[in-house]
Amino acid sequence: MNDKSAIDSTRLELRPVGQITGRFWVPAYQRGYRWGPEEVRLLLSDIWENKDNNYCLQPVVVRRHPDDRFELIDGQQRLTTLYLIFFYMKEKRLQNIEMPFSLEYETRPRSREYLKSLDEATCEENIDFFHMFNAYQTIDKWFGQRQANERQFVANKLYGYLYERVQVIWYEADQDVDSTALFRRLNVGRIPLTNAELVKALLLARRTHQGNENQGASETHNHRQLEIAGQWDLIERDLHDDGFWAFLTNRPGSDYPTRIEFVFDLLATGIDSKDPFRIFLYFKNELSNSSVSALWGRVLERFNLLKEWYDDRDLFHKIGYLVAIGKSLTELIAISEGLTKSAFHSVLDERIRAAVGLTSEEVGELTYHQDGASCNRVLLLFNVESVRRLKYQRERYPFNEHKKQKWTLEHIHAQNAETLNKKEQWQEWLREHRTALVDVAMPNLSFADRARALVTEIDTVLDDVDKATFERMSRDITELLSERGSEESMHTIANLALLTGGQNSALSNSVFEVKRRKIIEMDREGRYIPICTRRAFLKYYAESASQQVHFWSKADRQDYLNAMISPDHGVLSAYLLPTEKGLET
């Protein structure tokens, strides 16, 4: 809601249903009552099952008219159903009450009278009567599920809950608000009042003191309102920075229409997390024991802490990694309290070490099929930590880019293409490998002759390739474009890297040279490739004498693994558990 006056002048409170009184006027821009049996039963059951616990309904948004009627902008369905519940208990003599409020309609004046009778004989005269009568019948059936001698007990309890436990968020907008525009936003646009908007109304609400507020106090309050509103907008702007947001949470920004609500989430502890208005209820409760300035000061303190962490390059990477693997930011905040910066770094290192939970030997033994989750965590840390350790650079790991993608574990060099089962996949795989066979540097004449023969065969069979032919040719091509020797480490982490899940299955089953070319092509296009994946395919880690660029050899795999876990220079060495040998020494 962009209308500042609508926020600044709002009267906002939790109001027990039993204290809702007066005349409610439903304007022409609203449709009529449309709740069906399911919605009515759900409301009754929720109230009953909640028993003596406080229960908060969705906001009722109104605007007071000069004649003291309330224009009902939002909440007609809930308020009409509550009216029908009261009316039922009165008509069935379950409660000796006067109706606490009335409902009237700008374009449907007969509906007001119908609500006083709910006559079955006229219930089909129009659609409003039909739904009102059906809702009344649903209430009757809900009570009718109980024995006759139990209904009075249930009515007494339910009536008590409505007066003592069931509350609505009463949102009384200023008389100058464009109620039609507000209704469209809340109903036609399906954009409900958010916790953040309700909290803003609490913080910026005008507080007068029966005419005793002097001019100086009024000016001070207005200044404070403007200050909070300005700071609010700055926080909201910063939280819309994709890099900052991805550092803080794995949830998409769309989960928070107003992103400052995320900061409120970090403060709102001790409130039932299932309550959709838990944040509003938290702030409402806190304001009963604290001033607006003090409470807003806590919001600023929490936000400034997050910003301080984000601006610190080392904290950014360590905390960002822990958040990315699902660790609680709220818990990290609690841990940080009272610690020096160096002590907090030590705690973060220990948290990362515990999250990895492996010795160097155990990392080297991780496999694609058995340890997928651990491989993902280790490789993500390898990438994050590699960026953090870049000296003399301001580069940061792009958590925002990382979280836009779905990542998969990819074999740097694929051993076979047996999982491909469609002709189109076979053809694509053969085309990609034909290019590699033509362009790859020939280590000897024998290799060159075999490569030319395979290229010729690909050209011959490509249009009509069948499964048997593809399987034979893929084995021959893979053998030619692979290093001879042991294949025992093909499925270990030494042959794995992170790639986006958007790559097609033909590429996933390709040999190193084909993947290397694709990585280079993606890099030229400006697509995001994790730093360690790029380095692996560009042979950054190779320390072997041959420096063969086209193959991913056993020596390459060992060099890649050493870059992760070597005690001397391994990027992950500080986050690995000590070995038994290390413990003995």
pLDDT in tens, 293-327: 999 999 999 999 999 999 999 999 999 999 999 99
Q: Which residues contact 335 (CB under 8 A, 6 or more apart)?
A: 344, 347
Domain range holding 558?
360-575
Structural domain includes residue 200? no
DSSP state of 120: G
Q: How many CA atoms lie within 13 A of 8 on its CB side?
A: 15
At residue 447, the pLDDT reads 80
Q: Which ranges of 240-340 would DSSP assign to H, the alpha helix?
A: 242-248, 260-267, 278-286, 292-311, 313-324, 329-336
At residue 210, the pLDDT reads 39
Structural domain includes residue 321? no
At residue 475, the pLDDT reads 85
DSSP state of 74: E
Structural domain includes residue 52? yes
Assign 4 a pLDDT band (cuts: 50, 70, 90).
Answer: very low
At residue 328, the pLDDT reads 94
Structural domain includes residue 278? yes
- Spacing of C-alpha 32 from chain mean position: 35
Structural domain includes residue 383? yes
Domain boundary, last residue among 137, 162, 193: 193
DSSP string, 498-561: EEETTS-HHHHT--HHHHHHHHHHHHHTT----HHHHHHHTTTT--SSS--TT---HHHHHHHH
Do 417 and 553 reside in the same domain of the chain?
Answer: yes
Write the pLDDT tens digit of every residue in 247-297.
Answer: 999 999 999 989 999 999 999 876 666 778 889 889 988 998 899 999 999
Report how far residue 69's alpha carbon sits from residue 73's, in angstroms, rounded to the nearest whole number.
12
Report how far residue 244's alpha carbon sits from residue 256's, in angstroms, rounded to the nearest whole number.
14
Structural domain includes residue 329? no
Within 10 A of 22 (CB to CB), how many other CB atoms are there?
13
At residue 416, the pLDDT reads 66
Across-strand partners of 12?
171
At residue 388, the pLDDT reads 96
Assign 413 a pLDDT band (cuts: 50, 70, 90).
Answer: confident
At residue 161, the pLDDT reads 95
Tell me what the mean pLDDT of segment 428-444 comes to. 78
Report how far residue 329's alpha carbon sits from residue 246's, in angstroms, rounded to the nearest whole number.
12
Do 400 and 504 reside in the same domain of the chain?
Answer: yes
Q: Say if pTM beats, i.e. exceeds, 0.85.
A: no
Q: What is the dihedral of CA 213, 217, 222, 228, to 10 degrees?
A: -120
At residue 418, the pLDDT reads 64
Assign 585 a pLDDT band (cuts: 50, 70, 90).
Answer: very low
Within 10 A of 298 (CB to CB), how many other CB atoms are there?
13
Check pLDDT > 80 for residue 441. Answer: no
Closest CA to 44 of 14, 96, 88, 102: 88
Write the pLDDT tens digit of every residue in 229-260.
Answer: 899 999 999 999 999 999 999 999 999 989 99
Do 172 and 98 reside in the same domain of the chain?
Answer: yes
At residue 208, the pLDDT reads 38
Do 171 and 261 reside in the same domain of the chain?
Answer: no
Do 102 and 222 reside in the same domain of the chain?
Answer: no
Do 505 and 408 reside in the same domain of the chain?
Answer: yes
At residue 229, the pLDDT reads 86
Q: Which ranges of 389-466 would DSSP assign to H, the alpha helix?
A: 399-404, 423-439, 445-461
Domain count, the chain: 3
Q: Lowest-confidence range among 355-364, 406-415, 519-528?
A: 406-415
Do 157 and 278 reside in the same domain of the chain?
Answer: no
Q: Lowest-confidence range among 180-194, 222-236, 292-306, 367-381?
A: 180-194
At 492 the three-state DSSP class reads: strand
Q: Are 136 and 84 in contact (CB under 8 A)?
A: yes
Do 462 and 569 reside in the same domain of the chain?
Answer: yes
Q: At what angle do helices 278-286 and 195-204 cross, to 10 degrees?
A: 20
- The whole-chain average pLDDT of the chain stands at 87
461 token code pair = 């069979």
Domain boundary, last residue among 289, 311, 333: 311
Do 223 and 184 reside in the same domain of the chain?
Answer: no
Structural domain includes residue 209? no
Do 232 and 263 reside in the same domain of the chain?
Answer: yes
Do 46 and 121 reside in the same domain of the chain?
Answer: yes
Structural domain includes residue 205? no
Do 307 and 383 reside in the same domain of the chain?
Answer: no
Report how far residue 344's alpha carbon sits from residue 415's, in angstroms, rounded to the nearest whole number.
44
Q: Are 271 and 281 in contact (CB under 8 A)?
A: yes
